[in-house]
A and B are shown apart, each in its own frame.
Chain A
Amino acid sequence: MEEVKKTSKQIMNEMTRDVYVRAAEAKKAGKPVCWATGIAPQELMTTMEIDTVYPENFGAAMGAKHLSGPLIEVAEEQGYSNDICSYARNNFGYVDVKHVDDPVNLPMPDMLLCCGNSCNTVIKWYENLAKEMNIPMLFLDTPYNYMDEGASEHQIRFMEEQVYYMISQLEEITGRKFDYDRFKEVMEISMQTGEWWLKAIGVAKHKPSPISGFDLFNYMGIMVCDRGRPEARDLFKQWYEESMEKVARGEGPWKDQEEKYRILWDGIACWPQLNLTYRTLKKYGINMVASNYPRLWMITYDSPTIASMVRAYSENVGANREIPFELNAYLKDTETYHLDGLIYHSNRSCKPMDFKQYAIRKVVIEKTGLPSVIFDGDQTDPRVFSEAQFETRLQALVELMEKRKEGRKEDE
């Protein structure tokens, strides 16, 4: 019998699970395991074949599985303020209990890899982990790009120096030499994965879009955990091809609902309310076709060199850039993705993603007239989100989008 080809979704689910399975096996075999921040130079770990897991990804999973609340409480009992990032509180709680009632668990780390491009929060978070567990921390400090044009040459040089420093740490920890040829291959694969990722999420430009935006949140996990592996590149290629077939057939995101409005979602998902937010959007025929969160993993670089790689880690992440970087992308998105509106998640956990929303929203309204709303939520702390507020804001957005559509029809 001929073997049925797996869909990209099946592969994605398997790969998501395998990351944790591989790490658990490595731990069992006495090999070192690394914990890394979401957008860190995995290229180093992939080159050294060190299994790496991502507490932010795990936190999101805990949130989506409704397991984050108790972990957060454990962290707060240790003295962690409810003001700090709930991914971090999740993780501190997990470090204490070391096990959750779920098939997937995080093996304890032997080393840490941190990159400061997303926030200073991760630096403090990992500093605490390093101190509490007394394990080495590898750190890429990406100086904040206060210049609109990005990183200066001396900043690139500093980041390159740090990569060499991390390589020396890795050689010391593992007792093995770093293979620069393999590193180049890994960088090449990572670049290709990044390109296929962008291509795949870009399918949402089509109207209707066969991708519902929540696919972006689901597939994103592979970008976080696996982007140095050829399997990830191939997955996104397959997802792209499948999606393009749907485009050719004129399929929208849902079988039982029409795509009426197309929006951009600013901010991280509300993982504990992932289903609820998805269903509510769908109820009104709102498809989230773009989001700045999955786009954070746009670590595409020009050439497989350390300089080019560190530039990407520093410059491609909105949090590490001045407002025009993201603002200009949004203005472009309004056309590319045929947006009808925007929704801003004022996420109690993520200050860097919040503290630019008002400025961006104001300019986007001024320049495009596109309506938008802001709602309060949290990426994994289930206590912040209000279902009633979310739906009310969404209804307001629908009204505004409808009004605008009618206005346009009248103009025609």
Chain B
Amino acid sequence: MSDYRALIQELEAVCSNPAAAVAEEMKRSGRRAIGCVPAYTPDEIIYAAGILPVGLWGGQTDIKLADSLLQNFCCSLIRADLEYGMKGTYQMLTAVVIPNFCDSLKALCKNWPYGDTGIPVLGIAYPQNRIPAAFQYLISEFQFFQERLEKLTGTKVTDEALEGSFGIYEEYRKTCREFVKMVADYPVTLNAKTRHHILKAAYFMDKKIYTEKLRGIIEGLKAQPKEEMEQFKVVLSGILVDAEAYLDILVNNHITVVADDLAQESRQFRTPARAEGTALEKMAQRYMDQRGCSLIYEPEKSRGQMLINMAKDNDADGVIAAQMKFCEAEEYDYPIYRKELQKAGVKLLYVEADQQIEAAGQLENRIQTFVEINR
């Protein structure tokens, strides 16, 4: 039986010092690393080129240098990424990949060369309009990305390596889906903070190694009796909830995250790939199949119904809309799904929160009140 506690500790340690974890993995494997800015990037191609993809989801840092390029009403994630780039935190990266899912991401792509980071940018433009022709377009865009990646890094991505890489990523995603489903049964061990740390660690590790460790945690926990706890079960929705202060509030109030619709978490792995096609085709098809994400155009706007289903299927007491400040994509979705959730009788709490939490007391009050009223 695997020592799941030690594995959890290991992943939490990765999260507490991502730079060290990335440096260690680079040293261990002799590979270079490339930064991947949210929300979706073709990590499988980078991995197949023998390079470690690293997720760049901002962080809790004072914004100083980035203020010279971006106004303060740009979201904290983008500003933090630029700050880290400008102050040298990302100097171990061979390149950064910046996709185009919102105006602030485009702004990051535009401004990066003016920040004297010394790190080249690889842009990529995912389709918003997912008509059937978008499938072929995305494959071409992946190929174009691959050509530029090969040229920049002097590597060659073989079809065989790409198939292997896709397999590793698909296994990672499948294991994550299995993991998030277990949380309701082990709410003590997998409290909101630990759950988040375990999932986040994946961004700084080799996915094959990560998946083995996550598998170890799942198997280890399964061998344990289910945990009983007086708890308030929620579905988290938004871009991310990763400020330590925010997570502490969830834990202190016995709030269990029984499911999530966060860009940083389940949106990465909730959509399984189809069986047929080449690796690039399967990657493109997965993107075409993704639903309910604020960052991709979807005229049906299925997010509200999706959240209702998630709350019901997981027996949740409510949904927390974790609104990242200045994230327009999320701000546009909210009035629509709020109406739908209200109609379906699903309790909803809207809380604005940055990666830098300034008013933790106020946040705690609102969350406490929500729990008390709806328990």
Interface status of A120 (Cβ within 8 A of chain B) = yes
- In the complex, chain B residues whose CB is within 8 Å of the CB of A137: 299
- In the complex, chain B residues whose CB is within 8 Å of the CB of A132: 336
Interface size class of A (residues with CB under 8 A): 35 or more
A120 with B73, Cβ < 8 A, contacts A79-B338, A144-B125, A154-B140 known: no
Complex interface: stretch among A25-33, A228-236, A347-355: A347-355
- A131 lies within 8 A of B299 (CB): yes
Interface status of A254 (Cβ within 8 A of chain B) = no
A81 with B299, Cβ < 8 A, contacts A152-B144, A355-B70 known: no
- B137 lies within 8 A of A147 (CB): no
A355 with B332, Cβ < 8 A, contacts A144-B123, A152-B144 known: no
- A162 lies within 8 A of B71 (CB): no
- In the complex, chain B residues whose CB is within 8 Å of the CB of A88: 332
Q: Mark B287-316, 1 if CB is under 8 A from A, else 0.
A: 000000010011111000000000000000
Interface centre among B70, B101, B333 (most CB of A within 10 A): B70
- A162 lies within 8 A of B131 (CB): yes
- In the complex, chain A residues whose CB is within 8 Å of the CB of B334: 79, 81
- A144 lies within 8 A of B114 (CB): no
Report B41 CB to chain A, min CB distance, Å. 13
Interface status of A259 (Cβ within 8 A of chain B) = no
- In the complex, chain B residues whose CB is within 8 Å of the CB of A145: 125
Find A356's partner among B100, B101, B107, B136 (CB 8 Å cutoff).
B107
- B111 lies within 8 A of A83 (CB): no
Report A131 CB to chain B, min CB distance, Å. 5
Find B332's partner among A128, A352, A362 (CB 8 Å cutoff).
A128
- In the complex, chain A residues whose CB is within 8 Å of the CB of B70: 355, 358
- A322 lies within 8 A of B301 (CB): no
Interface status of A125 (Cβ within 8 A of chain B) = yes
Q: Bound complex: CA of A184 vs CA of B70, how far in Å?
A: 42
Docked complex: B268-295 residues within 8 A CB-CB of A = 294
- B107 lies within 8 A of A120 (CB): no
- In the complex, chain B residues whose CB is within 8 Å of the CB of A362: 68, 114
- In the complex, chain B residues whose CB is within 8 Å of the CB of A406: none
Q: Bound complex: CA of A288 vs CA of B130, how far in Å?
A: 42
- In the complex, chain B residues whose CB is within 8 Å of the CB of A319: 103, 106
- A165 lies within 8 A of B332 (CB): no
- In the complex, chain B residues whose CB is within 8 Å of the CB of A81: 323, 331, 334
Find A144's partner among B100, B104, B136, B336 (CB 8 Å cutoff).
B100
Q: Bound complex: CA of A165 vs CA of B127, how far in Å?
A: 15
Report B59 CB to chain A, min CB distance, Å. 20
Report B227 CB to chain A, min CB distance, Å. 37
Docked complex: A250-298 residues within 8 A CB-CB of B = none
- A162 lies within 8 A of B107 (CB): no
Q: Bound complex: CA of A121 vs CA of B69, how far in Å?
A: 21
Interface status of A217 (Cβ within 8 A of chain B) = no
Find A143's partner among B111, B125, B329, B338 (CB 8 Å cutoff).
B125
Q: Mark B321-338, 1 if CB is under 8 A from A, else 0.
A: 001011011011111101
- B301 lies within 8 A of A131 (CB): yes
- In the complex, chain A residues whose CB is within 8 Å of the CB of B336: 128, 131-132
- A143 lies within 8 A of B299 (CB): no
Q: Bound complex: CA of A125 vs CA of B100, how far in Å?
A: 17
Q: Bound complex: CA of A147 vs CA of B131, how far in Å?
A: 24
Report B234 CB to chain A, min CB distance, Å. 20
Q: Bound complex: CA of A355 vs CA of B140, how far in Å?
A: 29
Find B133's partner among A124, A158, A351 (CB 8 Å cutoff).
A158
Report B72 CB to chain A, min CB distance, Å. 10
- In the complex, chain B residues whose CB is within 8 Å of the CB of A357: 71
Interface centre among B111, B129, B133, B299 (most CB of A within 10 A): B129
Interface status of B110 (Cβ within 8 A of chain A) = yes
- B332 lies within 8 A of A127 (CB): yes
Interface status of B23 (Cβ within 8 A of chain A) = no
Q: Bound complex: CA of A88 vs CA of B165, how far in Å?
A: 42
- A79 lies within 8 A of B114 (CB): no
Interface status of B102 (Cβ within 8 A of chain A) = yes
Q: Bound complex: CA of A161 vs CA of B137, how far in Å?
A: 10
Interface centre among A79, A144, A146 (most CB of B within 10 A): A144
- In the complex, chain A residues whose CB is within 8 Å of the CB of B103: 119-121, 319, 351-352, 355
Docked complex: B334-366 residues within 8 A CB-CB of A = 334-336, 338
Interface centre among B125, B144, B323 (most CB of A within 10 A): B125
Report A338 CB to chain B, min CB distance, Å. 27
Interface centre among B133, B299, B331 (most CB of A within 10 A): B299
- A154 lies within 8 A of B144 (CB): yes
Interface status of B26 (Cβ within 8 A of chain A) = no
- In the complex, chain B residues whose CB is within 8 Å of the CB of A358: 68-71
A351 with B328, Cβ < 8 A, contacts A322-B110, A359-B69, A359-B111 known: yes
Footprint of B on A, CB under 8 Å? 78-81, 83-85, 88, 92, 116, 119-121, 123-125, 127-128, 130-132, 137, 139-141, 143-147, 152, 154-155, 157-158, 161-162, 165, 319, 322-323, 346, 348, 351-352, 354-359, 362-363
What are 26 contact pairs spanning A and B, CB under 8 A? A79-B335, A80-B335, A81-B331, A83-B326, A92-B335, A120-B102, A120-B328, A127-B298, A127-B301, A139-B129, A141-B128, A141-B297, A143-B125, A146-B121, A146-B123, A155-B125, A158-B133, A158-B136, A158-B137, A161-B133, A323-B110, A346-B71, A348-B73, A352-B103, A352-B107, A358-B71
Known: A121-B332, A141-B134, A351-B103. 19 other contacts (CB 8 A): A79-B338, A83-B326, A123-B128, A124-B333, A127-B301, A128-B335, A144-B109, A144-B123, A165-B133, A319-B103, A323-B110, A351-B73, A351-B328, A355-B69, A355-B74, A355-B104, A355-B111, A357-B71, A358-B69
